Chains A and B, each alone.
Chain A
């Protein structure tokens, strides 16, 4: 070993307990508030509402663009009279029926796909055929088969949920690490128990993503389908409410209906799915 020309001195220090400086301190109030996602998002919404109000007042044409306050008023009236809530209820019942059937079918299909070659081929062929097909395009056919009624709606809803969810779930299953699979098989897990105890929890981030996409697709499809033929046995849903009020040129009510569609979307996204994510994949460190 050659020595460098100049040598620094070695030294040791005795470390006293560090008391002069606080080890943690709180962030200032403004920063802490800014950390809250809902606060930032609400601010964006308020800005948008103000923008809307200003544009509507400049435009000054209720028929084309009612102002934010007018819409709020129509929404308030609709909710108070119970008309809007009734429509929402009709739509939601159909939606949830279609959504649940879609989920069950998607899981059946992906379970088949992870266990057999035939299932794999079936899933990939069907998804590549039907996933690009807009669900609403099937509505005429559904009306022919199931008649004017709930069943036709459910049929197109299932179609809109099934493929998106099956694709995501299957991709999630494929992404489960080999080590985890071997560990599961090591403990004697096979067949359905293997899917339930290993594959589904391990693929939960993808499954949740699929459920979210499926929900959005289904909601969209439902409103669109109701616009085409809203009435099911005399009672229509939210889409029908929008369509009817446009025909009667109650534009503020049309906006109120649209606002409800958006509000329900936001509620489900932020309450249901965010909560699901927080108590599962985020808590487990599988997703940031």
Chain B
């Protein structure tokens, strides 16, 4: 039962006194009209400040559900989630979510108004300060020239950038990203990963990132939590701080990718299978 916890402890020998976000033995269930389905089973992990923590698993393993629980949209049926020791019991602006869907940006607001929206809605800043901060973060993601454009006139990558600027402008305690680049084309996705890492270098925000792409997990994260197929349980934690976009296609990178693939799909006995794995866009040279 506690095996995942041991794995986690081993990777973090100097356990910090308090993690920023603690997910403690959390089981999540969702209801259909006929039955109750268990999405994740007793998942535990801790995210430290400035971590780029990735939840990785096959589709249907409950990784998005976990992120929504951390955001406060879903209450765990067992266990609890704590943000700086405080129990999470509802959505709030201290945890901003970046979604995958493009319609996360209200179409009736311009780019600038979109970035200002959470600041004003949560009454964090007054209008003048919010505008100033919105422009500052739009500058950071390179969209200052589009401040007065409406979202429907932007490309997918630009919409994703607006969503990131909007999240960062709130300066949340933790940024929750739910497959934010999954709907983008491969080249744009690569560019967005690079920009996200550059922003992280600059701002050092704490990130919880959900993805189903092994390659994206290795590039974006410094710690990767692997979840088993449905229902999601913790399979392993893998370090990936040594990799960035430059390591794509390198030997060590490939090795890690293969190891993760093995862990996720339990091909334990035949490590050197002849077929090369079908990673998402792994062959596109940077």
A residues at B contact (CB < 8 Å) = 177, 179-180, 182-189, 193, 197-198, 201-202, 204, 280, 283-286
B83 to chain A, nearest CB (A): 14
- Cβ of B97 within 8 Å of any chain A Cβ, yes or no, is yes
Contact A182 B152 (CB under 8 A): no
Bits for B76-116, please: 1 = Cβ < 8 Å to A, else 0. Answer: 00000000000000011101110101011011100000000
Whole-angstrom distance between the alpha carbons of A179 and B103 in the complex? 7
- Cβ of B260 within 8 Å of any chain A Cβ, yes or no, is no
Whole-angstrom distance between the alpha carbons of A202 and B91 in the complex? 20
Cβ contact of A201, chosen from B73, B99, B108, cutoff 8 A = B108
B residues at A contact (CB < 8 Å) = 68, 71, 73, 91-93, 95-97, 99, 101, 103-104, 106-108, 117-118, 121-123, 150-153
Whole-angstrom distance between the alpha carbons of A187 and B117 in the complex? 8
A-B contact pairs, 5 of them (CB 8 A): A187-B121, A189-B121, A193-B121, A204-B108, A284-B108
Whole-angstrom distance between the alpha carbons of A202 and B108 in the complex? 8
Name which of A177, A180, A204, A286 has the most chain B CB atoms within 10 A of its CB.
A180
Cβ contact of A286, chosen from B93, B107, B118, B153, cutoff 8 A = B107
- Chain A residues whose C-beta falls within 8 Å of the C-beta of B91 in the assembled complex: 182, 185-186, 188
Evaluate whether A284 and B107 lie within 8 angstroms (CB atoms) in the complex, with A177-B101, A179-B101, A197-B121 already known: yes
B89 to chain A, nearest CB (A): 13
Whole-angstrom distance between the alpha carbons of A183 and B166 in the complex? 11
Nearest B residue to A281 via CB reads B108
Cβ contact of A183, chosen from B99, B151, B153, cutoff 8 A = B99
- Chain A residues whose C-beta falls within 8 Å of the C-beta of B71 in the assembled complex: 182, 186
- Chain A residues whose C-beta falls within 8 Å of the C-beta of B93 in the assembled complex: 186-188
Contact A180 B108 (CB under 8 A): no
Whole-angstrom distance between the alpha carbons of A182 and B70 in the complex? 13
Contact A180 B104 (CB under 8 A): yes
Whole-angstrom distance between the alpha carbons of A180 and B107 in the complex? 10
B64 to chain A, nearest CB (A): 11
Cβ contact of B99, chosen from A179, A188, A198, cutoff 8 A = A179
Contact A183 B107 (CB under 8 A): no
Whole-angstrom distance between the alpha carbons of A180 and B117 in the complex? 12
B122 to chain A, nearest CB (A): 4
Contact A284 B73 (CB under 8 A): no
Whole-angstrom distance between the alpha carbons of A284 and B123 in the complex? 25
